[in-house]
Chain A
Amino acid sequence: MKIFGKIIVLIVLFISIWQMLALVPWTKTLGLEEARVSTEEKLGDLIWQQYKDRENREPALTEPAHQILSIICKANHIETENIKLHVIDDIEVNAFAMPGQSIIVNRGLLEETQDPGELAGVIAHELAHLQHNHVMKKLLREFGLSVLTSVASGRGGGQTAEVMKILGATAYDRKFEKEADLSAVEYMVAAGVSPEHLANFLYRLGKADGNQEKYLRWIRTHPDSGERAAYILDHARKQQQNIRPLLADSSWQQMKNALELEAEED
């Protein structure tokens, strides 16, 4: 056999062995998948301990958000039981995804949304971050595997605070944000919600007065809101939309009334 033929045989042999070995479920066999899920759950529990005391359990506030999450999940064949949504007593306009399949929505964001579609857009966006595993990817990039494992096992010391800061106060990279935005559009369309609501929300918040403290975190964690609103609308135009009512007006109004009461009490 000539040299060229032997080179081809060697390459084919390498690729064949590689592809045959790739059929073995290594991540399961070596327990990597289990370790990853376990670390993420422990991390999520540990971080949630820092927010738990500020959770708002008022049904008038939390029910609409849970209902919207349930509608979006069902329409997109996502197991709703696996996703936890918590409302936090924080006047800052912000929402973020956490390890362990959790979404945190600040009261400030509920106050800022003008209709159920806008809230659906935010929830769909954070749900997309969870579905694409952006949360753990972001934390792995920032801290590395050994630090995250230490934090998850309770040996992280001051690094837990750093992890919380990265989750709630910094933006994902552009690629992750775009991926989450486009997936959010698809989730909303499947749930019968117009993605224009998400675009409007992003655009409006992007133009918000950056000097007002409650907007600061939103602006820091969601840069280029105007540009994102534009490509969301562009992607939405390519989808076939079948708009359906999302929430009863009464539920939404009850939430707004409850928010006003809580704001007066503060």
Chain B
Amino acid sequence: MNFPPLSEHDCEKASNSYLMSLMAIVVGLPLPIVNLLATFGFYLGNRKGSHFVRWHCTQALVSQFSLLFMNSAGFWWSVAILLGKKDPDNSYIAYMVTVILFNLADFIATMYSAIHTRKGNHVHWWLYGDITNRICPK
């Protein structure tokens, strides 16, 4: 994807959308909605920015949705176990390990994107980049 020449300001803002996402992952892992709200807030704040900034804010936001569903399911399953309604079996532990792996993958991808967008490089994620192209046309 081609973007018009980028200013230092644009690179910084696009990178910050991923940093916002990173902070939200750290705080929000036990509270899934925090991830989404933080990233959404940053997206709203940059709706009128350049196409490069808007695109990367959107990609950061879209990637949070899949995490929201899997983290929410994990959260409520954990609450059910703490309340004694369910037992912590192999399936539960396997689910939590899987969720942690996916969150870790998202964390690494987000850090990579934050570094590269700060340098002015475009980073197109598998699946989420395609969705962002549909949502955020030129």
On A, residues with C-beta under 8 Å from B are 3, 6-7, 10, 14, 17-19, 21-27, 30, 32, 133, 137-138, 140-141, 144-145
Contacts and interface: CB of A to CB of B under 8 A. Distances in A.
Given A17-B101, A141-B85, A7 B127 contact: yes
6 tightest Cβ-Cβ pairs between the two chains A and B? A140-B84, A21-B94, A141-B84, A22-B94, A26-B93, A6-B127
Interface string B53-71: 0000000000000100010
Given A25-B90, A30-B93, A144-B82, A18 B98 contact: yes
Q: Is the interface of A mostly helix, strand, loop or mixed?
A: helix
B76 interface: no
Contacts of B1: none
10 contacts: A10-B127, A17-B98, A18-B91, A19-B94, A22-B95, A25-B90, A26-B90, A27-B93, A133-B87, A145-B82
Nearest to A16: B98
B134 A26 contact: no
Given A3-B130, A10-B66, A14-B70, A22 B82 contact: no
Contact of A3 (B98, B101, B131): B131
B26 interface: no
Contacts of A22: 90-91, 94-95
